[in-house]
Amino acid sequence: MTQTLAPCPNYIGGEWQTPSGTTTPVFNPSTGDVIAECPAGGAAEANAAVDDAAAAAFPAWRETPAVDRARVFFRFRQLIEQNYEKLCVTASREHGKTLSEARGDVHRGLENVEYACGVPTLKKWENLNLNYQRVARIDYDKCIGCNLCYIACEDGAHQCIDLKNPDELTTGLGPGRVPHKPIPKVREADCVGCNLCNLVCPVDDCITMVNIPNDQPAMSWSNYQEKLACGEMQPIPPHP
C-alpha cells in the first residue's frame, strides 16, 4: 500500500515554498513509520530566509511599538488555543510522547506566549529592584530525578543547582526515582530566578518560583549608579 506523506514545505517571506532537491524523512518514534518528508534546504533557502526575508522585515518590526507587537502575540495565542489538540497530536506523533505529555509541552509553550503578551506592561530594566529575590524550589514529592533542571542550569544559566546524594537530603525516593541516584538541589543564595529550570522540567508544578522577602530597601540600577558616583556605596560583587 502506498502511503501519502504529509507535505512539509518551507515558509519564507510569507509564502510556502517547496524547493526541488532531496528530502529527509520524519519518523514517528513510537512506531518507526515515516509520516512526512521535509525538504533538505541548502544555502539558497537559508539565504532567502535570513538575508532576504528576515532582513527585509526587520526595519519595520524594529520600529513597531511594544503594544502593537503584543497584539501579534495575542493573535498567536488565539491560534494556539484554536488548534490546541492538533498541535498536541502532531507533537505526540513526531516526538513519540504520550498525548498527555504532548499536551503539557504545548501548554508550556502557550504560557511563554502569554508572557510575551505582557511586554508592554514590563518596566524598563534600569528601574527594576536589584534587591528583589526570587528563587526556584523543587518539590521532591513530584521530582522524578531526570536532572534536566541541573543540566539546563549548569550549561545555560547560573550553575546554582547541585547534584546531591538523596540520603543527605532525606527526601525519600519520590515518584520513580532510583535509590542513591543524585538528585538536584538549588543553592538559593546563588539563584537569580531566571526560571530556566522550571521551563525544562517535564513535571507540572515540580519546580516553582518563590519570592524571598528580605529587609533590604528597594534599589534600582539607576539608584545604584548614583550611589556609586557619590561614594555612598561600594560596587556590588559580580555573581559567581
CATH at 143: 3.30.70.20
Are residues 118 and 190 both part of a single domain? no
Domain count for the chain: 3
Are residues 44 and 24 both part of a single domain? yes
Residues 35-45: tens digit of each pLDDT: 888 888 788 88
Residues of the chain above pLDDT 70, percent: 95
How far is residue 143's CA from residue 206's CA, in Å, rounded to a whole number? 6
Which of 17, 34, 63 is the last residue in one of the domains? 63
Are residues 102 and 55 both part of a single domain? no
Residue 176 lies in a domain: yes
pLDDT at position 1 is: 38
Residue 127 lies in a domain: no
Are residues 20 and 50 both part of a single domain? yes
DSSP string of 135-162, one letter each residue: EEEE-TTT--S--HHHHHHHHHS---EE
Residue 28 lies in a domain: yes
pLDDT, average across residues 55-75: 87
Cβ atoms 188, 153 nearer than 8 A: no
Residue 238 lies in a domain: no
Residue 187 lies in a domain: yes
Are residues 32 and 45 both part of a single domain? yes
Residue 226 lies in a domain: no
How far is residue 136's CA from residue 185's CA, in Å, rounded to a whole number? 10
pLDDT, average across residues 194-206: 91
* Highest-pLDDT range among 18-32, 48-62, 82-96, 108-122: 82-96
Are residues 85 and 156 both part of a single domain? no
pLDDT, average across residues 98-110: 90
Residue 160 lies in a domain: yes
pTM of the predicted model over 0.95: no
Range of the domain at 198: 132-212
Residues 76-103: tens digit of each pLDDT: 999 999 999 999 998 898 888 888 889 9
Are residues 208 and 142 both part of a single domain? yes
Element (H, E) at 163: strand 161-164
pLDDT at 71 over 60: yes
Are residues 106 and 87 both part of a single domain? yes
Say which residue the cell 530556566 belongs to. 196
How far is residue 196's CA from residue 207's CA, in Å, rounded to a whole number? 10
Q: Average pLDDT of the chain? A: 86
**Residue 2 — pLDDT band, cuts 50, 70, 90?**
very low
Residue 150 lies in a domain: yes
Are residues 136 and 208 both part of a single domain? yes
pLDDT at 6 over 70: no
